[in-house]
Structure 1
Amino acid sequence: MEFAIPDGLSYAESHEWIDRRDGVVRVGITDFAQDELGDIVFVELPAEGETLERDDAFGLVESIKAVSDVYAPISGTVVEVNEALRDRPELVNESPFDDGWLIELESSDEPDHLLDADEYAERI
């Protein structure tokens, strides 16, 4: 099966992606991860202002098959959560890189441990 793996993003081996934009880092789960989970029915996210350390579990994604932790690919402070997911968790399935993002972090962490699109594609 072919999965979307957009160039220009960075990827964690735990299947999260980050997109740096104007000092803020948007975080979500990959197309591969949402496909593995199946139909997502609930998303639990941290509170704005919460500080996360790299590799901390910061939320849960519950599907009809499983409940999975979501991990912070970098350290930072949560500045925004995707409130739309409270009422429409299926956005993670429908649009994992656009409408289905999870959180935004303020971070000065350098993501040099993360994979580019080609490296991530090789892992999955």
Structure 2
Amino acid sequence: MAKISFWMRIKNFFTGKKQPTLSDVQVKDGIWYAKQSDGNYLLGIDESVYQLMGKITFADFPTQLKDIQVDDDLLDIEGDKSVETLKSPIAGTVIEQNADIGKNIDTLNEPNPQVNWIVKVKPLS
């Protein structure tokens, strides 16, 4: 995963956005997932997806996600080279979706966990 640039840190400081605190980052089938300090997981698009697909030109959530299981459809994406459905690497309850995905597709093309995350998930106990 890319580190946050100096300028992005400055911007986040003035806008009040905090950098996600991530630990134990893992990757499965094009999705990175990392445990946050609150015990929930943040899921996003791994750099390997960009290498296979090129620039992402369209993305959409296939369903209204609430409870997900491993390998459930997470995000439909189209790129310059192919069309894919990314699958969930973990099971749990979706507590937040990245609403910016449908508004500005260019944010998904940045290998930055602050902008290319897909969902936040509370894992099953």
User: TM-score category by the smaller chain?
Assistant: 0.7 to 0.9
1:47 aligns with 2:61: no
Q: Is the 2:31–2:86 contact (alpha carbons within 8 Å) kept by the matching residues of 1? A: yes
Comparing 78-87 with 58-67, which one deviates more in the overlay? Answer: 58-67
- Percentage of pairs with the same residue: 23
Match of 1:117 in 2: none
- Kindly indicate whether the alpha-carbon contact (under 8 Å) linking 1:16 and 1:73 is maintained by their aligned counterparts in 2: yes
TM-score (norm 1): 0.73
| CA-CA distance at 1:40 after TM superposition | 0.9
Instruction: Point out 4+ residue stretches in structure 1 off by more than 3 angstroms.
Output: 3-8
1:43–1:61 Cα contact (<8 Å) kept: yes
SS at match of 2:59: strand
Aligned twin of 1:17: 32
Partner Cα separation in structure 1 for residue 112 and residue 120 of structure 2: 14
Q: Which has the higher strand share?
A: 2
Q: Distance in 2 between the 1:65 and 1:88 partners? A: 20
- Structure index of larger Rg: 2
Which residue pairs with 1:85 in the alignment? 101
Number of residue equivalences: 105
Q: 1:56 aligns with which of 69, 72, 77?
A: 72
Aligned equivalents of 1:7 and 1:108: distance in 2? 18
Q: In 1, are the aligned partners of 2:31 and 2:45 still within 8 Å (CA)? A: yes
CA gap 1:51/1:68 in 2 versus in 1, 3 angstroms: same
The one of the two structures with greater contact order (alpha-carbon pairs below 8 A, sep at least 6) is 1
**Offset, 1:47:** 2.6
Residue identity opposite 2:115 in structure 1: D
